[in-house]
Amino acid sequence: QKEVEQNSGPLSVPEGAIASLNCTYSDRGSQSFFWYRQYSGKSPELIMFIYSNGDKEDGRFTAQLNKASQYVSLLIRDSQPSDSATYLCAVNWKRGGSYIPTFGRGTSLIVHP
Amino acid sequence: SQTIHQWPATLVQPVGSPLSLECTVEGTSNPNLYWYRQAAGRGLQLLFYSIGIGQISSEVPQNLSASRPQDRQFILSSKKLLLSDSGFYLCAWKATSTGELFFGEGSRLTVL
C-alpha cells in the first residue's frame, strides 16, 4: 500500500511568519512530488513540483525534497492571510506504464493577521 | 490551452438513486484522466483512472463505475447511491510533461 502522510493540522502562524508543511511517503522508488493548494469548497491547484533532492524556490514558496529520508516539505515565507488553505502533498507512483498521483490528507494552514 | 469541465456542480440525491457525473477535457489528445473523491475533512481518494478510450482502472471496490466513451470524456456512475457516497468529486487530467494534475471545478454530492 503506497502511503502519503501529512499532519492534518491546523497549523496556525502569524502574518509575515514562515509556514512549514511536511509530508512523508512510503515508496522509495517515487520520482515526482507535488504540492497543491485547496481553498475551502474549491478544486486543488498546483503550487510547485519537485523531482530532485534539495530545494526548489518559486517566489515565496520553497519545496524541499530528501529522498533518503522520504520526505518532502513546503516552506511559505512572509505568510499572508490569503495563504490560509489546505495544502495537499501528492506523489506519483509508478504502476505498470503509468504514474498514478496519490495524495496525503492535507494540512490546514491558518495565517492570522 | 487545455481546459477541463465537469458537471453538475451540485446535486442532492436520495439513497438508492442513480448517479452520473460527466467530465470533458478540451485542448489535448489522449489525456490520462482521473476521478477522485474527497469526503468532508479528508484527502483525495483515487477512484478510477483511464489512459485511453475504454480503458478503466478501478482503485477501490465500491458501487461506483466509470466509463470513457470518447477520448476526452470521462463519466462516473452509480446504479444505487449509498449515504457513504456523499462527497466532493473531482475529475482531473495529467500533463504528461510534468505529471501535474489539472482539476475540474468539482461536483458536490449529498446523498440523503
Give the tens place of pLDDT for each residue, A16-42: 999 999 999 998 888 899 999 999 999
- Residue B103: its pLDDT value, please? 97
- Residue B61: its pLDDT value, please? 66
Residue B48 has pLDDT above 90, yes or no: yes
Rounded (5°) CA angle A56-A60-A61: 40
Say whether A34 and B32 touch across the interface (CB within 8 A).
no
- Tell me which chain B residue has its CA closest to the CA of residue A104: B43
A vs B: CB pairs below 8 A:
52
Residue A94 has pLDDT above 90, yes or no: no
Say whether B99 and A104 touch across the interface (CB within 8 A).
no
Positive or negative, the CA dihedral A97, B72, B92, B21 is negative
Q: Which residues lie below 8 Å from residue B109, measured CB to CB, with a gap of 6+?
A: B11, B12, B13, B19, B21, B81, B85, B86, B87, B88, B89
Set of cell numbers at residue B55: 480503458
Set of cell numbers at residue A101: 498521483
Residues in A touching B107 (Cβ below 8 Å):
none
Rounded (5°) CA angle B21-B1-A99: 65
- Tell me which chain A residue has its CA closest to the CA of residue B104: A43
CA distance B33 to B48: 8
Concatenated DSSP letters for A32-96? Answer: EEEEEEE-TTS--EEEEEE-SSEEEEETTEEEEEETTTTEEEEEESS--GGG-EEEEEEEEEEET
Q: Which residue in B24, B26, B8 sits closest to B109, CA to CA?
A: B8
Cα of B96 to nearest chain A Cα, Å: 10
CA distance B51 to B57: 9
A99 touches B: beta carbon within 8 Å: yes
Higher pLDDT, A60 or B30: A60
Cα of A57 to nearest chain B Cα, Å: 17
The 10s digit of each residue's pLDDT in B76-101 is 999 999 999 999 999 999 998 899 99
Residue A44 has pLDDT above 90, yes or no: yes
Residues in B touching A41 (Cβ below 8 Å):
108
Give me chain A's average pLDDT, please. 94
- Per the document, the length of chain A is 113
Say whether B46 and A90 touch across the interface (CB within 8 A).
no
Concatenated DSSP letters for B17-70? Answer: --EEEEEEEES-SS-EEEEEEE-TT--EEEEEEEEETTEEEE-S-SSEEEEEEE
Positive or negative, the CA dihedral A63, A68, A70, A71 is negative
Say whether B49 and A99 touch across the interface (CB within 8 A).
no
Give me chain B's average pLDDT, please. 94
The 10s digit of each residue's pLDDT in B49-68 is 999 999 999 888 679 999 99
Kindly state the average pLDDT of the residues B22-36: 94
Residues in B touching A63 (Cβ below 8 Å):
none
State the pLDDT confidence band at A93, using cuts at 50, 70 and 90: confident
A50 touches B: beta carbon within 8 Å: no
The 10s digit of each residue's pLDDT in A101-110 is 999 999 999 9
Kindly state the average pLDDT of the residues B29-33: 92
Task: Find cell 505498470 and name the residue.
Answer: A96
Tell me whether the omega of the peptide bond preceding residue B8 falls within 30 degrees of 0, making it cis.
yes
